[in-house]
Amino acid sequence: MTLPACVADYRALAKRRLPRLLFDYIDGGAYAEITLRRNVEAFEAIRLRQRVMRDVSNICLATEVFGEALSMPVVLAPVGLSGMYARRGEVQAARAAEAAGITSCLSTVSICSLEEVGAGVTRPPWFQLYMIKDRAYMADLLAIAREGGTPVLVFTVDLPMPGSRYREVRSGMTGGLSTWGRIRRAFDAGRRPDWLLDVYLGGRPHTFGNLVKAVPDARDPSEFWVWVKRNFDTAVTWDDLAWVRKHWPGPIVVKGIMDVEDARSALASGADGLVVSNHGGRQLDGVPASVEALPAIAEAVGDKMTVLVDGGIRSGLDVVKALALGAKACLIGRAWAYPLAARGGTGVAHMLELLRQETITAMALTGCTDVHKAGRDLLV
């Protein structure tokens, strides 16, 4: 089975297993979801250059990113609420990533806390941070991450406020449901007995592990979005990166860069790396696909920053295309969220093995034996 077919199958299983509220949170994008679709379509439009007679008997996918050894140039991107897709979902995903020789990045809005996920693996995950108004709370979070051995901080900057995600409005994720709407949502959850027994009842406690003091109950995510709108800092500027640096001595990766000038600003502000990302099409609709923005950004910062990319990566072919266009590694989100929702950590492990095999095959058939040598010459 190809990885795109596998991901599609897992998506279908996740749709049947999860309450609509949670499925739409994974699956949906902003506005008309043009950018959500474009992220995938742009990868499909890129043409690889097939080469022959190149001695591809030894293919090396191993790389190092911010001192982290990776068996292939892939990291599990931060995906919020993952602990509601599978029982203690973030722990299951982190274990699958570690078993595959890669790492994961834990979302600020995870169900499992940094401490819980860190205790479940031998190598602590990266941590993704949003800028909130309460700097004391942020400082405490960063202190917890430091003390737990978190190696890399991924600072997400493209969510000063949530994008207009119409699917989430209709499902009630962002609040505003009538009494009848709440009854309908509860009925929908009751029609998913497997999820209800395994995750909702068996996966407790359902709290936002890293925000438990601020938002203690994750069973009604709409309450969380009320908190987000009140507490996410819309006044943040590049000057605030100095505050983050003051509280974080390790590598800082700025996630959410789609413009060359913003990439240069991130470099000038002292960031160590960046993620070319449109938040999976979940923020501003109508912007280019991440991979379309990648080449110019990678060229603008050169070797002064480590450039990563996410958005629309569904196969090993996509990984090779991203490397050829200037990325050091790829972050994948929905590609692991669907398998987690469908089959837990087993599904994530299966997806990662398929991704590895597809990447090896794509490398071999383009005549490239080492991911460090992947460049524009792999493309038509």
Residue 255 pairs in a beta bridge with 156, 275
Phi-psi region of 367 (alpha: psi -120 to 50; beta: other; left: phi over 0): left
Contact between 22 and 337 (Cβ < 8 Å)? no
Predicted local distance difference test score (pLDDT) of residue 179: 61
Q: Which residue has the tokens 């592990």?
A: 209
pLDDT tops 60 at residue 197: yes
The CA distance from 321 to 348, in Å, is: 22
pLDDT tops 70 at residue 305: yes
State both tokens at 283: 């923020």
What are the φ/ψ torsions at residue 274 (nearest 5 degrees)?
-150, 160
pLDDT tops 90 at residue 35: yes
Question: Which residues 6+ apart lie within 8 Å of 194 measured at CB?
Answer: 17
- Angle, alpha carbons 287-43-36 (nearest 5°): 40
* CA distance between the termini of the chain: 26
Predicted local distance difference test score (pLDDT) of residue 228: 77
Count the Cβ atoms, other than its own, within 10 Å of residue 151: 17
Residues with active-site annotation:
279
Name the least confident of 50-59, 217-226, 253-262, 271-280. 217-226
State both tokens at 185: 């949502």
- pLDDT single digits (tens) 12-30: 999 999 999 899 999 999 9
The CA distance from 240 to 44, in Å, is: 37
Contact between 31 and 23 (Cβ < 8 Å)? no
- pLDDT single digits (tens) 319-346: 999 999 999 999 999 999 999 999 999 9
What does 92-150 look like in DSSP terms, one character per residue?
A: HHHHHHHHTT-EEEE-TT-SS-HHHHHHHSSSPPEEEEE-BS-HHHHHHHHHHHHHTT-
Predicted local distance difference test score (pLDDT) of residue 231: 80
* H or E stretch at 230: helix 221-231
Domain spans in the chain, listed from the N-terminal domain onward: 3-338+357-378
Find, among 51, 139, 20, the residue nearest to 368 by Cα.
51
Sign of the torsion formed by the C-alpha atoms of 257, 259, 265 and 270: positive
Q: Is the overall model pTM greater than 0.85, yes or no?
A: yes
- CATH classification of 3-338+357-378 is 3.20.20.70, yes or no? yes
Predicted local distance difference test score (pLDDT) of residue 186: 73
Query: What SS3 state is found at 307?
Result: strand
Tell whether omega for the bond before 205 is within 30 degrees of 0, i.e. cis.
Answer: yes
User: How far does Cα 275 stand from its chain's mean position?
Assistant: 10
Highest mean pLDDT among 167-176, 194-203, 368-377: 368-377
- Angle, alpha carbons 358-360-351 (nearest 5°): 35
pLDDT confidence bin for 188, thresholds 50/70/90: confident
Q: Which residue has the tokens 């207009």?
A: 164
Sign of the torsion formed by the C-alpha atoms of 324, 325, 328 and 330: negative
pLDDT confidence bin for 177, thresholds 50/70/90: low
- pLDDT single digits (tens) 96-130: 999 999 999 999 999 999 999 999 999 999 999 99
Query: Which tops the pLDDT comparison, 123 or 187?
Result: 123
Contact between 234 and 133 (Cβ < 8 Å)? no
pLDDT tops 60 at residue 178: no
